[in-house]
Structure 1
């Protein structure tokens, strides 16, 4: 089915330049689209990274309505704080002569000014570097500003932008789905857990910003400090500390490119603590140990405790 090309009646130049309400028509649509496509790409590439044996389940499905609402609200907030001011600066700096070219250049200049201002605001509130903050803000604003300039240049209504953005988003989602299918079938860059020797697990492991500690010794002794308990519904201050033993359990290699091999495991036996097997994650250069606590009857998702070697 071919979507109709929805245009508004083109007004005369003086009336066209005076309508501020149409400066950023449809700019929120590409913002929503890029978030949807980015989420689809994230899901499609799950097999290329370590998911710590935690996949999307019922908890994710239940959160979808809230995620949609947050995406729509973020789109309109971005429209108000970024795209509309950028197009307003383009309107002030532009003119009737060479309107299309000057409008595009002024929109870029306005977006650059707003990017710097927003990045400065972000760095003043949070401890993040200026350059990465500016890059993320500018990257998220490229498509909305381009769409707003296109809609104003072509004098499109919101429906015309919806047809174009919807078609391009559908194509991007189909390509993403095809890429995800091919990645699963071919095992392209598929993640495999590291295969280490027992001696490589000996040493100090920390997690939770240094709050969790695990010491594995060559003689098989283990000491833990402040590790979260291996069960749900524990007390607020309940934690596991003590000494005991550990045992390394290597598993077989992967069964082929279509199957991720089972992870090697480290079993802990600590008096007064209830743990299952700690599984191996990360890479050979930066290995990790993680433990998943699942509650099939609980409303929340799995709890994952991750430790990395010091």
Structure 2
């Protein structure tokens, strides 16, 4: 990205960002604050007890339903529940406290929207920043496979890589980078095990027949049971990731 494009992006983010945050905050207020407050006050009127506690119970139950659905897709239940309930907590409390006043006058409804939108906007900006900085899950250490752990067949994205004992590598449409461009290679080359360093994970260095003058470094990720090799393609700040996964039981 050139200097002009970067400057334009920063200016647009500064001008449009606050309006987008307010819009997201208002949407969040309507979606997660007002319904639990309304239902909580309804339940409190029928069964008694503080309306705020009923509203918090409704919020927790709704967050649990969302977390259960996400957990079925592989996410951590407790993490999703804590984030979804936590992001809605401040707008909900603000709405409930304001609802203790006159909840029927039009002026009260307008001020309710304002008092909910402001904290919700803060939550929305925080969430967007967290997404931009990285995933919610804590980073996991890369697996340590040792040299023998890389022997076998790896594939992904239409490419195949077979690493053999003795350092022979057979590649089929395996991606690599040359002159900041992505290319693919088919043929035979060599590989060597690269031990982990202080600022880098372990992995393998490939010498490909299509580019013998360069070593192409693949780093390991995933888990010891399901390891992956990944390679960054392009500008390091905006790189694409190419991933190869090891076939279970295939080694030689």
TM above 0.5: yes
Partner of 1:185: none
2:33, 2:92 within 8 Å by CA — same for their partners in 1? yes
Deviation at 1:197, TM superposition (A): 3.4
Query: Which of these residues, 77, 88, 94, is aligned with residue 141 of structure 1?
Result: 88
* Partner secondary structure for residue 77 of structure 1: helix
Structure 2 counterparts to residues 93-172 of structure 1, below 5 A = 93-95=43-45, 101-111=49-59, 114-115=62-63, 128=73, 132=77, 135=81, 137-153=84-100
The whole-number CA distance in structure 1 between the counterparts of 2:29 and 2:218 is: 45
Structure of greater relative contact order (alpha carbons < 8 Å, 6+ residues apart): 1
Q: Pick the aligned partner of 2:204 from 266, 270, 273.
A: 266
- What whole-Å deviation, never above 9, does each CA across 1:49-91 have from its counterpart, x for those lacking one? xxxxxxxxx79x9596577665543332221122111112233
Decide which structure has greater strand share.
Answer: 2
Question: Cα distance 1:97–1:224, how it changes in 2: closer, same or farther (>3 A)?
Answer: closer
Checking the alignment, whether the CA contact within 8 Å between 2:229 and 2:245 is kept in structure 1 is yes
TM-score, with normalisation over the residues of structure 1? 0.48
Q: Which runs of 4+ in 1 moved over 6 A?
A: 116-120, 154-158, 189-192
What CA distance in whole angstroms lies between the structure 1 residues aligned with 2:55 and 2:89?
A: 10
Extract unaligned runs of 5+ from structure 1: 1-57, 173-188, 255-259
Q: Deviations over 1:66-117 (max 9, x none)?
A: 776655433322211221111122333334997xx42113313443565578
Q: 2:155 & 2:35 partners in 1: Cα distance?
A: 46
Cα deviation, 1:10-36, whole Å, max 9, x if unaligned, reads xxxxxxxxxxxxxxxxxxxxxxxxxxx
Which SS does the other structure have where 1:285 is aligned? Answer: coil
TM-score, length of structure 2 as denominator length: 0.57
Question: How far, CA to CA, are the matches of 1:228 and 1:194 in structure 2?
Answer: 23
User: CA, structure 1 residues 262+268, in 2 after alignment: closer, same or farther (shift >3 Å)?
Assistant: same
* Alpha-carbon distance change, 115 to 266 in structure 1, aligned in 2, over 3 angstroms: closer
Distance 2:217 2:85 in 1: 41
Q: How far 1:230 moved relative to its partner?
A: 1.8
Q: CA deviation at 1:216?
A: 0.7
The residue number in structure 2 matching 1:240 is 184
Q: CA deviation at 1:214?
A: 1.8
Deviations 1:268-305 (A, max 9, x none): 23333687422433377254432222338xxx711222
RMSD: 5.0
